[in-house]
Structure 1
Amino acid sequence: MKSIQSIIIILLTVLLFSCNKTQNNTTITIEDGKIGIIGYESLMSKTSIERTLKRTYQDSVYHVYLKDYNREWNWHTSMKNSSAEWFCLRGNDTLPFNNIRALNIMAAENKKINCMLFFVTPEELVQLDKREFGYERIDVTDKVEELSFKGGSVFVYKAKQDHTYDYQEENTSVLHQSYIDLVTNACDSIGKEFRDEFEASTLPYNKEVVVSSLIHKNKE
Structure 2
Amino acid sequence: MGVAVFGYGSLVDPRSAAATLGRPVGEVWPARLSGWRRRFSTVRDNLTSEKAFARVSDGWLPPIVLALNLERDTSITADPPNGALVEVEPAELDRLDRRELRYDRIDVTDQVRAASDIGQKRTAQVFAYVAKAEQLAVHPPPGAVVLASYVAAVEAAFESLGRRELAIYRRTTGSPPVEVIDARLIRGEVPDGNPRAW
TM-score by length of 2: 0.79
Taking the aligned partners of 1:172 and 1:127, their CA distance within structure 2 comes to: 31
From 157, 168, 178, give the equivalent of 1:197.
168
Could you tell me which of 109, 114, 132 is aligned with 1:160? 132
- Higher RCO, 1 or 2 (CA under 8 Å, sep at least 6)? 2
> Larger deviation: 110-119 or 134-143?
110-119
Q: Distance in 1 between matches of 2:17 and 2:51?
A: 29
Please report the TM-score for the alignment, with normalisation by the length of structure 1: 0.72
Pick the aligned partner of 2:69 from 97, 104, 119.
Answer: 104
Q: Which runs of 5+ in 2 are unaligned?
A: 188-198
8 A Cα contact 1:42 1:48, kept in partner: yes
Q: Are 2:13 and 1:45 equivalent residues in the alignment?
A: yes
Deviation at 1:83, TM superposition (A): 8.8
Amino acid at match of 1:176: L
- 1:187 equivalent in alignment to 2:158: yes
State how 1:135-154 maps to structure 2 within 5 Å.
135-145=103-113, 152-154=124-126
Equivalent in the alignment of 1:9: none
SS in 1 for 2:111: coil
CA RMSD, 1 decimal:
2.6
Q: Which of 194, 198, 211 is matched with 2:181 structurally?
A: 211
SS across alignment from 1:57: coil
The residue identity in structure 2 corresponding to 1:202 is: T
Contact 1:65 1:113 in 2 (8 A): yes
Contact 1:64-1:145 at 8 Å conserved across structures: yes
**Greater share of residues in helix:** 1
Offset of residue 196 of structure 1: 0.5
Identity %: 27
Aligned partner of 1:116 in structure 2 is 84
State the AA in 1 paired with 2:38.
Answer: R
Within 2, Cα distance between the matches of 1:44 and 1:69?
17
The 1:97–1:71 alpha-carbon spacing in structure 2 relative to 1, beyond 3 Å, is same
Quote the Cα distance in structure 2 between the aligned partners of 1:115 and 1:83.
Answer: 26
Q: CA deviation at 1:71?
A: 0.6
Q: Could you tell me how far apart the structure 1 residues matched to 2:176 and 2:131 are?
A: 17
- Determine whether 1:73 maps to 2:43: no
